[in-house]
A and B are shown apart, each in its own frame.
Chain A
Amino acid sequence: MSQDIKDFKINPEKIKTTLEEYLIPLVAIFLVVLGVVFLIIPKTRQIQEARKKIEKQEKTISQLSQKAAELSSLSEAELYENSRLLLDAVPSEKDFYQTLVMSKQIVSENGVFIEAFKFTPGEVSTQSASKKLSPLPIEIDFNSPFENLKAMIENIDKMLPLVTIDRIKFGTVNATESGSLADFSGKISIMSYFGPLPKTLGKPEEPLPKVSSQDRETVETLKNYKRYEPLAASEGEEVITVGKENPFPF
């Protein structure tokens, strides 16, 4: 026994070899585990996030490309003409003077005699904050032969700016000579409309508003309507733009 203990010697070479043979691979494995935890896993998460971002970008690119292609395919001249026509149909600003002049023009052009006018301009503002249409009612006391009244009512339905007849209230009906309809007098209530323009165009990736074939037909129909042009602004009148630049060129 004492002989065995005497023989037991620490062999440094053997220990070194054992360490090299076991420790280096084990350290390598440990480093690999650390690498997986601190490099591969975070980077994998980064890849997933980057892929999500890229997917979002690609969706945006697709939307933008489509929008750019659609915008390029549109004719600026045609769009301008149509938007002018539609702004003549429904003006953006409440201009009661123009409406008064126009109403008088329609009535007198059709040979209807105006006995009185009643006008309710309401809020005096150039543009209402509301997106809704704001009506401007006009009440006309008239006196007219049947034919002229009929012509006026038919023409009102085919004129720009668009107006609607809210009510016709007949007063006296005067009999005329045999064979022709009576002369009528009464009150006709006409509604003229105004609606402010949208103020912003929205984000670039937002799709363009859709104009259906039915809407195009409406525009084509309006082209046949008679336009009552507003009176031209006096020469030398300077237009001063204030505040944020208006994206609408009107």
Chain B
Amino acid sequence: MNKGINLISLEARKIAKEQKVKGKVKSASFVFVGVFIVMACLVIGFVIILNQKFKNNGKKITALENQIKALEKNESYLVTIADRVRHVNSILESRKAYANSMQDLEKIYVEDLNITGLDFGAKGDMKIEGRCAGVACLTELNNKVEEIKAENKYKEIVFETVNRTVDGRYFINLDFKK
């Protein structure tokens, strides 16, 4: 077995090892302190910048709030408009179609027809009771009913009853269903 001969004395080797450890400790401490200083500077710098930004933002918010307060009148008008429009829409949606019923009643009116009873339903239904003087009146009434039927405004239009009297008059019951 080949064994090398170390000519450096044990003391000198110990000193060299000690020096190496000392160097490492020293370097580590320099690195730690250096990194710490850099980090501390960055952190403190950030804190200062963010605080400044927080203060500036606070000032901006106050300025904007004041600007909005100065325009409070416009906002109150707008809030009123939005609120009233909502109510207006709900009223308009709840309206019943009486005006249309009146128009249709006018459309079917024929000479020699006497309306004796009338009822308007909320959804636009209409019931008419009447008396036709003769067959010509009844035919004309039927033609006008057909015209309204063609407009498809009603689901069905029904002659509920048609009664002829001995004197040639016709009593009718007409039902317009929506």
Chain A interface (Cβ within 8 Å of chain B)? 21-22, 24-26, 28-29, 32, 35-36, 39-40, 43-44, 46-47, 50-51, 53-54, 57-58, 60-61, 64-65, 67-68, 71-72, 74, 76, 79-80, 82-83, 86-87, 89-90, 133, 146, 149-150, 153-154, 157, 162, 164-170, 173, 175, 178-179, 181-182, 184, 193, 195, 197-198, 201, 204, 208-211, 215, 218-219, 222, 247-250
Contact = CB atoms under 8 A, between A and B. Distances in A.
B65 A204 contact: yes
Contacts, number: 215
A74 B74 contact: yes
Contact of A173 (B95, B106, B115): B115
Nearest to B36: A32
Nearest to A43: B43
A76 B57 CA distance: 29
Given A72-B71, A166-B96, A25 B46 contact: no
Contacts of B120: 167-168, 170
Interface stretch (B1-9, B86-94, B155-163): B86-94
A52 to B, nearest CB: 10
Interface residues of B, number: 70
Given A166-B96, A248-B76, A181 B26 contact: no
Interface in B133-162: none
B16 interface: no
Contacts of A79: 74, 77-78, 81
Ranked nearest first, the 10 interchain pairs of A and B with the lowest CB-CB distance are A25-B29, A86-B84, A209-B82, A79-B77, A64-B64, A57-B57, A71-B71, A50-B50, A175-B114, A32-B36
Given A28-B29, A195-B87, 8 more contacts: A35-B40, A61-B61, A72-B71, A74-B78, A86-B88, A162-B88, A201-B79, A215-B81
B99 interface: yes
Contacts of A210: 82
A173 B85 contact: no
Contacts of B84: 83, 86-87, 89-90, 195
Interface string B57-83: 110110011011101111111111111
Contacts of A39: 40, 43
B151 to A, nearest CB: 18
Contact of B47 (A43, A68, A90, A201): A43
Contacts of B111: 178-179
